[in-house]
Chain A
Amino acid sequence: MHDAAHGSADDVILRVEDLAVHYPIGGGLRGGGRRLLRAVDGVDLELKRGECLGLVGESGCGKSTVALSILGLQTPTRGRIVLDGQVVTGGQSLDRMALARIVQIVFQDPYASLNPRQSVRRTLEAPLRLHGMTAKSEIDGRIEAMLSHVGLRPEQAGRYPHEFSGGQRQRIGIARALILNPRIVICDEPVSALDVSIRAQIINLLLELKETLGLSYIMISHDLGVVEHMSDRVAVMYLGRIVESGDWREIFERPAHPYTQTLISAIPDPLRRAPLATTRGEPPSPLNPPDGCAFNPRCRHAEAVCRRAPAPSLDVRPDGHAVRCWRADEIAGQTVAEPSAAFNGSS
């Protein structure tokens, strides 16, 4: 299912194979009733060197759980993660320290993720010391270089998080992620908490750093405009599984899965009025997934085949565009939202 045809082995810096994370839920005193929440249920991903892979889907679909698994902060129930040629899951796993030198994360809320009682210098110095850097001059040099990389001034190193604006705090969050020279950075909603006028600054910075430092990104965001702008490839998740993936242009210009089409048309555009809602209802609970295709209760195209087991499998086309939908061939290419469609509602 993980398409070996695409990208030679050493092109690939990260491979996620059949990853599953199941949380046991409930059970309580009366015994029994213990159920499994399948937060991630058989995800395959491939990240190539120097690439930005967009990961999108509604909240609760398992994006952060995938991220935590890659970072070694969540033990998978099943599956393998191969980082830079090394298997990091299971018995032979890399230790946390080694992992931290390869992959790091930038969180959504830079304020919540920074220690308010630590100056910027302390925040950046701690991982360096932990990883064996002791010479003060070396540490200072590295911190100074990193601050200038992210657009902060060296003299700001002595300041505390509350002395910075939201955008500057996210710059600190980025500096912390990069201080150990990782190869991969997972950005989990990095601009969602920022002022609109600041987002472009951070997006530009992330793309610039990717080029100058030769990084690979996994970009998690619910803002498809951001994902389209930044990604080389895109994977769409629904209820713990990938339902569509492919080259960014394929995904945005020829979305094949009804769910991807729904996500794209739901984004309101200031220069275009269009009906936003093309689906009804909310995602089902991962504790109680529907039979057949997980999207069928909300899908405009669902037919009998979609409502009974088995679930559709991820069908990989020759160009690498993969879709998990029984009816993809029939509905692909249908326009999602007519730009000129009747606009009911506002006067």
Chain B
Amino acid sequence: MTAPPLIEVDGLRIDLDDGSRRTAAVEGVSFRIDRGETFGLVGESGCGKSISALALIGLLRRPLSIGAGAIRFDGREIQGLPAAEQRALRGNRIAMIFQEPMTALNPVSPIGRQIAEMFVLHQGKSWREADRLAVEALASVRVPAPERRVKDYPHQLSGGMRQRVMIAIALACGPDLLIADEPTTALDVTVQAEIIELMRNLCAERGTAILMISHDLGLVANVCRRVAVMYAGRIVEERGSDALFRASAHPYTKGLVDSLPRLGTRAALGRSKLKEIAGVVPAIADFPAGCRFNPRCMQATEICRSTAPETTRLGDGGLVRCHHHA
């Protein structure tokens, strides 16, 4: 028997309850991530990436809740687990970093203390031992002069340094999965470049799987082996990352890739008008019937307006949700 995937999401639906009405913000979301694998979730703001991640680690709060589906970690269903076990799972085996580290860090506690706490709480180390490990952890994320820096408070650090501290905290207990939700969106591209390389090198060394969430196609392509594209609460395409961007099967993916002013294009091909995707991303209350991309899709026909497409498996093992996929 083959080992179960590290994490498996099966038919996830997330309901948004506004008091009078319950609507599905996310629907039919399924994917799996193997040990040590890098998996990307890409899509525009509001398509449901962050709430899917929160659902994965049991942190959805009202008005959002899991309406259907199963989430299995290491073969074990984790939704029904008691709160204490879920917490332990979050500290030890699944870690998460966010766009704005300031909201996740405690402003009145030195950063060394916050890293050390992970070792005390989750690995039962003494504070003395934990303090030593905290210095090592800071050094591993290449914070200069870590022995001195452990005494700094979050506000004394730059955005890039804070994100390094977050990575140190996240990886402290050697988790199996790191969820990184727009981890570099607030940073300059130069600092982003360093953080991304740090993250993928550390995870590769330690065999930590990555679920990378971003609106930036280029970033996801550079970090992840497999990528799922979300649109309006559904995964519309999931492929190996090369195939996804070079030979997109879904009109939305293709539209996104084609709309980018990619560096080097003008020098190679001259300047032409960028390809536009007409219209706007719909709000949850306005999700159209049928395929949710149909009002913006050049290929849409009658069936797209009436019937939501099922997921089709492609020759290369990828998945696509489109009646007229390439």
Contacts and interface: CB of A to CB of B under 8 A. Distances in A.
Interface of A: 58-59, 165-168, 195-201, 203-204, 207, 222-226, 228-230, 248-249, 252-253, 262-271, 273-280, 282, 344-347
Given A58-B188, A200-B274, A277-B194, A268 B261 contact: no
Given A229-B261, A252-B264, A346-B223, A282 B245 contact: no
A203 B274 contact: yes
Interface of B: 36-38, 44-45, 158, 160-161, 188-194, 196-197, 200-201, 203-204, 215-225, 245-246, 255-257, 259-267, 271, 273-277, 280-281, 296
Nearest to A195: B44
B218 A269 contact: yes
Given A196-B44, A197-B281, A276-B196, A347 B38 contact: yes
A344 B262 contact: no
A345 B280 contact: no
A203 B261 contact: yes
A346 B197 contact: no
B224 A266 contact: no
Nearest to B201: A345
A204 B274 CA distance: 7
B193 A266 contact: yes
A280 B142 CA distance: 10
A262 B204 CA distance: 24
A170 to B, nearest CB: 12
A229 B270 CA distance: 9
Contacts of A199: 259
A155 to B, nearest CB: 18
Nearest to A252: B267
Contact of B218 (A229, A265, A268): A268
Contacts of A275: 197
Contacts of B161: 282
Nearest to A265: B193
A263 B296 CA distance: 34
Scoring A166, A225, A226, A274 by chain B CB atoms within 10 A of each residue's CB, the highest score goes to A225
B19 to A, nearest CB: 21
B217 A196 contact: yes
Nearest to A262: B190
A267 B223 CA distance: 13
A344 B225 CA distance: 12
Contact of B281 (A195, A226, A264, A344): A195
B7 to A, nearest CB: 16
Contacts of A266: 189-190, 192-193
A267 B221 contact: no
Contact of B200 (A201, A263, A345): A345
Closest 10 CB pairs of A and B: A345-B200, A268-B218, A276-B193, A229-B261, A200-B274, A277-B193, A200-B259, A266-B193, A266-B189, A270-B217
Contact of B266 (A166, A167, A197, A228): A228
Contacts of A262: 190
Nearest to B189: A266
A5 B281 CA distance: 49
A128 B322 CA distance: 49
A346 B267 contact: no
Contacts of A276: 192-193, 196-197, 222
Contacts of B262: 225, 269-271
A271 B245 contact: yes
Contacts of B204: 344-347
A345 B223 contact: yes
Contacts of A207: 273
Contacts of B192: 266, 276
Given A196-B44, A249-B267, 8 more contacts: A58-B189, A196-B215, A266-B189, A266-B193, A267-B263, A268-B196, A276-B222, A282-B158
B204 to A, nearest CB: 5
A168 B189 CA distance: 27
Contacts of B267: 228, 249, 252-253
Nearest to A343: B222
A165 B280 contact: yes
B219 A268 contact: yes
A197 B218 contact: no
A282 B191 contact: yes
Given A200-B276, A267-B189, A269-B218, A226 B261 contact: yes
A255 to B, nearest CB: 11
Contacts of B220: 270
B158 A229 contact: no
A265 B276 CA distance: 26
A253 B273 CA distance: 21
Contacts of B197: 275-277, 345
A268 B222 contact: yes
Contact of A197 (B221, B222, B277): B277
Contacts of A225: 260-263, 265
27 contacts: A58-B189, A59-B188, A168-B280, A196-B44, A200-B274, A200-B275, A223-B261, A225-B265, A248-B266, A249-B267, A252-B263, A253-B267, A262-B190, A266-B189, A266-B192, A268-B218, A270-B218, A270-B220, A271-B257, A271-B262, A276-B196, A277-B190, A277-B194, A282-B158, A282-B188, A345-B200, A347-B204
B263 A264 contact: yes
A285 to B, nearest CB: 10
Contacts of B215: 195-196
B160 A282 contact: yes
